[in-house]
């Protein structure tokens, strides 16, 4: 029974296999060769070239002005190659780079330069040269203007400056006009308002002194400076105007101006500090015209009112040198001393005396008479 069944099943299975449809033939093809794009997503960027330069970083005002002569030249150097060495020039003069030369690195600048130099008053040209390792250099210039700060003045100051030189009837002098001009310029820098005159006759000198005395009432410090001929007669000092022509010693008081007239004006003005500087008595102006009689060479001492100092170019009874340069010997020393700050007026005249003694081989000894009650400084810094 089983045999016929098995046979029938086998036949059905064989028939099912031969009844399946034949498989379809698959067509294939080969694509042409293509070139692969190898360009990266982020293209290669060429290396950036470092621009070599020098940037000045010194502390200055916007207009490149400084108020101190000591200046620190600072700069930042940018370069592809390291800097091997530096040279700094000030007004075309090579500056030695020794202990104060600093070449460091910081966070903001890869190569820094710093060197201290001494400026001159006015314009200064700095030139920095940075020499690179392996060759090449970078150069940069900087203009710096040094301007002295104004002198600290705590009071109102007024000065009368007179220089007489072109005497038609007496010995002409070489320096008083220069002395007056230079003294006026120096006093202006020291905070003085200056009334300046040269080559005045008798009337003009009297007017100048009277106007000075009237104006002085509104000031705390008064200064009178005179350069020119001066004479002593009967123990009294006189300033010689250009038109003075005394025929005898007795006529001096009429043709010349008494020096103590300026002291009277100062005393009437009630100024706190009065300064009188007499660079006079440079020779005997009328000795060829008349005998001086009882008169002595040089000026006599005068009493200084309280709060005053009277400075003479030379000691009582002696004559002063007119000088061979631009200024008289005494005024040249005074102009030099006025440039030193923070010294009292007494210290200043001591400095003047030492300088005049040195320049004259101890032949001319400046002199002062004083009744000051406190210290006075021409300039404080």
| Domains of the chain in sequence order | 53-146 (2.60.40.10), 157-370 (3.40.50.1460)
Say if pTM beats, i.e. exceeds, 0.75.
no
- Among 120-134, 207-221, 296-310, name the one with the lowest average pLDDT: 296-310
Strand ranges inside 204-272, DSSP E: 221-227, 230-233, 236-239, 257-258
Q: What is the mean pLDDT of residues 223-241?
A: 90
Q: What is the mean pLDDT of the chain?
A: 82
Looking at residue 43, its pLDDT comes to 57
Which residues, 6 or more positions from 300, have their beta carbon under 8 angstroms from its beta carbon?
A: 232, 235, 236, 237, 316, 317
Looking at residue 48, its pLDDT comes to 56
Looking at residue 293, its pLDDT comes to 28
Looking at residue 199, its pLDDT comes to 96
Looking at residue 40, its pLDDT comes to 56
Q: Above 60 in pLDDT, residue 274?
A: yes
Q: What is the mean pLDDT of residues 233-247?
A: 87
Beta strand pairing call for 65-66 and 102-104:
unpaired
Q: Above 50 in pLDDT, residue 59?
A: yes
Q: Please state, in angstroms and rounded to a whole number, the distance separating the CA atoms of residues 56 and 52.
A: 14
- Please write the tens of the pLDDT for every residue from 21-35: 555 554 544 555 555
Q: What is the mean pLDDT of residues 152-168?
A: 90
Q: Please state, in angstroms and rounded to a whole number, the distance separating the CA atoms of residues 6 and 177.
A: 157
Q: What is the mean pLDDT of residues 253-275?
A: 92
Instruction: Centre a 10 Å sphere on the Cβ of residue 209 and count the other Cβ atoms it contains.
Output: 21
Q: Give how far the C-alpha of residue 42 lies from the chain's centroid of Cα atoms, to the nearest Å.
A: 60
Looking at residue 101, its pLDDT comes to 43
Both tokens assigned to 181: 């001009």
* Confidence bin at 290 (pLDDT 50/70/90): very low
Class of residue 350 by CB neighbours under 10 A (exposed 0-12, middle 13-18, buried 19+): middle
Looking at residue 169, its pLDDT comes to 73
* Confidence bin at 296 (pLDDT 50/70/90): very low
Q: What is the mean pLDDT of residues 86-108?
A: 72
């Amino acid at each position: 029974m089983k045999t016929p069944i098995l046979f029938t099943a086998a036949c059905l299975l064989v028939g099912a296999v031969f009844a399946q449809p034949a498989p379809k033939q698959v067509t294939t093809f080969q694509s042409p060769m293509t070139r692969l794009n190898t360009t990266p997503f982020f293209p290669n960027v060429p290396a950036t070239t470092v621009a070599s330069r020098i940037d000045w970083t010194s502390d200055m005002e916007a207009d490149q002005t400084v108020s101190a002569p000591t200046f620190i030249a600072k700069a930042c150097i940018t370069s592809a190659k390291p800097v091997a060495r530096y040279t700094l020039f000030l007004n075309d003069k090579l500056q030695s780079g020794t202990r104060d030369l600093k070449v460091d690195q910081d966070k903001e600048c890869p190569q820094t330069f710093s060197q201290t130099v001494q400026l001159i008053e006015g314009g200064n040209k700095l030139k920095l040269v940075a020499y690179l390792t392996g060759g090449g250099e970078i150069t940069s210039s900087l203009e710096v203007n040094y301007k002295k700060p104004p002198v600290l003045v705590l009071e109102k100051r007024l000065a009368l400056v007179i220089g007489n030189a072109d005497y038609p009837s007496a010995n002409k002098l070489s320096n008083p006009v220069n002395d007056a001009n230079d003294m006026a310029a120096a006093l202006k820098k020291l905070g003085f308002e200056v009334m300046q005159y040269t080559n005045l006759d008798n009337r003009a000198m009297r007017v100048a002194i009277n106007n000075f005395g009237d104006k002085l009432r509104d000031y705390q410090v008064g200064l009178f400076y005179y350069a020119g001929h001066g004479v002593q007669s009967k123990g009294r000092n006189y300033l010689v105007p250009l038109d003075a022509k005394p025929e005898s010693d007795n006529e001096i008081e009429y043709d010349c101006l008494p020096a103590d007239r300026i002291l009277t004006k100062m005393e009437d003005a009630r100024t706190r500090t009065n300064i009188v500087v007499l660079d006079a008595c440079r020779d005997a102006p009328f000795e060829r015209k008349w005998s001086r009689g009882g008169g002595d060479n040089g000026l006599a001492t005068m009493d200084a009112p309280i709060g005053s100092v009277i400075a003479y170019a030379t000691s009582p009874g002696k004559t002063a040198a007119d000088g061979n340069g631009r200024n008289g010997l005494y005024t040249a020393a005074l102009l030099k001393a006025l440039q030193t700050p923070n010294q009292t007026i007494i210290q200043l005249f001591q400095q003047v005396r030492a300088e005049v003694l040195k320049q004259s081989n101890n032949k001319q000894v400046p002199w002062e008479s004083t009744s000051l009650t406190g210290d006075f400084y021409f300039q404080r810094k």
